[in-house]
Structure 1
Amino acid sequence: MATQRKRLPPLNTIAAFEASARLMSFTRAAEELHLSQGAVSRQIQVLEERMGIALFNRRHKEIQLTRAGLIFQQAIAQSLNSIRRAVTVIEALDTSTVTIAASNAMASFWLMPAIIDFRTQHPDIDIRVLASNVPVDPWKDPVDLAIRYGDGQWPNVTKFKLFDEEIFPVCSPKYLESHRIDSISDLPKAELIELEADISAFNSWDTWFEMAGMQPGQLHKSLTLSNYDLVYRAACSGKGVALAWSYGIPHESRETLLVKPLGNSVKTGLSEYIIHTENEELSAPARIFLDWLIDFGGRSIWT
């Protein structure tokens, strides 16, 4: 015998609850829904009677969610995120636009040159970039692809490794001419440019020396900067020696604006990946762009 499905409450009562729970006010929910406060209160009452439990604690001029209300709000929020994502995916089925997310540094120093190269070969495919240092979840955010840094141990995503993280010192040719750097032991005496950011777990000179197997003692950190773009500009201007990523130096700067004073480098064991939602069929433009980026990743590393 088939199990009878429990009917959902009326959608207008769910809408009234969602707005009230999000705004924590029947009055503000009524304004948003273009209803009277009394209408919203009645819809909430109908919903509570239908579910057989209170969803709000009413106090003088304020409301609070009960435990049942909190559970229901979380379920509705998850459902709305799924609906928004479905709408985004559906809208993208017949479009040539591909949306990709990446960190600020990755977007600026690797992804943008890749896109410029890609567009010369595929001018009919438009690329939209979401640059943010807040990790993007392709299940929740409206993106086709995302570049994510880490160990690759993420559930419910399909991943493709772009390249391993490798970090090494760089400086301008002019700086190297005036400073003797013949071995790693010469680096502590140089003017070191420090990146004070969380784009990598290994961006500091102290960590780099430790992984390189050296205890340098006191370091001369002449500049501490908050983002990689400033570090790159300072190094190109001859202000000292910076740490660079194998993918983080534009092709046109290699051996011209910046050089490797030493052959020493550190591999961190972490990598950059392209990910998308597991078991989801990408659009044809997104698949073309993904395959192209994977190939470009193998060609773009400064070795």
Structure 2
Amino acid sequence: MSSSRKRLPPLNTIAAFEASARLMSFTSAAAELSLSQGAVSRQIQRLEERIGTALFERRHKKIELTKAGDIFYRAICESLVSIRRAVMDIERLNSTHVTISASLAMSSFWIMPAILKFKHLAPEINISILANDQVLDPFRDAVDLAILYGDGAWPDLNSYKLFDEKIFPVCSDSYATEHMIKSIDDLKRCTLIEVVSENSVCGSWEDWFNQIGYTGKFGNTQPLQVSNYDLAYRAAEAGQGITLAWNYGPQEILRSKRLIRPVDEYVDTGMAEYLVTGLSSAERPAIDRVRALLIEYSKGEGAAVF
């Protein structure tokens, strides 16, 4: 038997410790493991003797992790995440079902058109889109691909940059003409529409004006706030005001001139959208195929407008 194997505590003692630490109760751990409370206590004691230090502080009617116990518990949690990830990868090894997680806006304005575009190119692949502003993590969650907003610094993920984020005002052509919008100063006469969102570092008009360095004065009228980008763009299309758009979002709306850029200024936020997979994900032809198609789409019909 190898020395590394000899140093590994018995697995039943690890199971007893994990349940006790998670539930903070020997009694609850015993019920979960279908053991007596005494049996769990003996396994914890055996584990502590094996490691050579106390893992719990026993107090009246409650237990707490010691520093050593906290270190050991965090290591076990990380190991369980890897094990669960491996089990999911194995179960889906030959699956042609691919799940993609993305924000509501990215799902609506970019992923859906992409999937519809190349559905005929890979009819054997069943693609599910999980649209939620709490985007799932392919390393930890049951999802194959995700589009994450950020700086790309995710150590557990393989990432491919799709778009750098640039944000600019948009409105209908008739609205720009009616309000004679030629410069940023002209926006003070406009109804400003903004989305209440935390999905961008430049999501509000106040953020946008600050980041382009605008020092002019505006009235006391507050922007018209809506809950999502679809409502904002619909309102702008209907001539109700001017809103902010990002360069990889409503491409079709911009290319069809239903919305235009009335001024040239834009903010380059330094952030980007990344297509990511888990670093330890098992290779699956279906995932590789969808990933390649999304990257190809991002360079062609789905490319940023500038």
> Shorter-chain-normalised TM-score: which range?
0.7 to 0.9
Match of 1:272?
273
Counterparts in 2 of 1:225 and 1:259: CA distance versus 1, 3 Å: same
Counterparts of 1:230 and 1:35, CA distance in 2: 56
Provide closer, same or farther for how the CA distance between residues 235 and 27 of structure 1 changes in structure 2, counting only shifts above 3 A. farther
AA paired with 1:204?
A: S
Q: 1 CA distance for matches of 2:252 and 2:225?
A: 25
Counterpart-to-counterpart distance in 2, 1:229 and 1:13 = 54
Counterpart of 1:15? 15
Rounded Cα–Cα distance in structure 2 between residues aligned with 1:248 and 1:192 = 19
Distance 1:150-1:247 versus aligned 2 partners, 3 A rule: same
User: What's the counterpart of residue 99 of structure 1?
Assistant: 99
Task: Output aligned runs, 1:96-245, within 5 Å.
Answer: 96-134=96-134, 136-173=136-173, 175-176=175-176, 178-218=178-218, 220-245=221-246
The RMSD of aligned alpha carbons is 2.6
Q: Secondary structure at the match of 1:221?
A: coil
Identity, % of aligned positions: 52
Identify the match of residue 302 of structure 1 among 298, 302, 305: 305
What is residue 291 of structure 2 aligned with on the other side?
Answer: 290
1:14–1:185 Cα change, 3 Å: same
Give distance in 1, aligned partners of 2:11 and 2:201: 47
Q: From the superposition, tell whether residues 184 and 252 of structure 1 become closer, same or farther in structure 2 (CA, over 3 Å).
A: closer
SS of equivalent to 2:248: coil
The aligned counterpart of 1:42 is: 42
Query: What SS does structure 1 have at the residue aligned with 2:202?
Result: coil
Deviation per residue, 1:28-74 (Å, 9 max, x gap): 22222222322222222222222222211112221111111111110
Report if aligned partners of 1:188, 1:216 keep a CA contact under 8 Å in 2: no
- With the length of structure 1 as denominator, give the TM-score of the two structures: 0.88
The offset of 1:192, in angstroms, is 0.4
Letter in 1 for 2:262: P
Tell which deviates more after alignment, 252-261 or 203-212.
Answer: 252-261
What whole-Å deviation, never above 9, does each CA across 1:93-128 have from its counterpart, x for those lacking one?
A: 110112222223212221122122222321211123
Residue in 2 that maps onto 1:25: 25
Alignment partner of 1:161: what SS? strand
Q: 3-state SS of the aligned residue for 2:193?
A: strand
TM-aligned CA distance change 1:233 to 1:282, over 3 Å: farther
CA contact (8 A) 2:24 2:62 kept: yes
| In 2, Cα distance between equivalents of 1:171 and 1:268 | 21
Q: Which moved more, 1:101-110 or 1:82-91?
A: 101-110
Task: Give the match's secondary structure for 2:53.
Answer: coil
1:215 deviates by 2.0
Residues 39 and 238 of structure 1: CA distance in aligned 2, closer, same or farther (over 3 Å): farther
Specify the SS of the correspondent of 1:120: coil
Cα deviation, 1:4-39, whole Å, max 9, x if unaligned, reads 643422222211111111111122222222223222
State how far apart, in whole Å, the 2-side matches of 1:244 and 1:113 are: 18
- Equivalent AA in structure 1 for residue 15 of structure 2: A
Q: Distance in 2 between matches of 1:76 and 1:155?
A: 19
1:49 & 1:36 partners in 2: Cα distance?
20
Q: Name the CA distance, whole Å, in 2 between partners of 1:62 and 1:46.
A: 20
Output the CA distance in 2 between the equivalents of 1:22 and 1:227: 38
C-alpha distance in 1 between matches for 2:161 and 2:123: 26
Give the drift of 1:226. Answer: 4.0
Cα distance between partner residues in 1 of 2:254 and 2:36: 63
Q: Is the 8 A contact 2:236 2:242 kept in 1?
A: yes
Aligned-pair distance for 1:190? Answer: 0.6
Structure 2 letter corresponding to 1:8: L
Q: Structure 1 residues 252, 244: closer, same or farther in 2, change over 3 A?
A: closer
| 1:6 alignment partner, SS class | helix
Please state how far the C-alpha of 1:161 moved relative to its aligned partner.
1.9
Q: Is the 8 A contact 1:170 1:261 kept in 2?
A: yes
User: 5+ unaligned residues in a row in structure 2: which ranges?
Assistant: none
Query: What is the count of residue pairs matched by the alignment?
Result: 302
Question: Which range moves more in the overlay, 288-297 or 199-208?
Answer: 199-208
AA of the residue aligned to 1:116: L
Q: Which 5+ residue runs of structure 1 have no aligned equivalent?
A: none
- Partner Cα separation in structure 1 for residue 48 and residue 34 of structure 2: 22
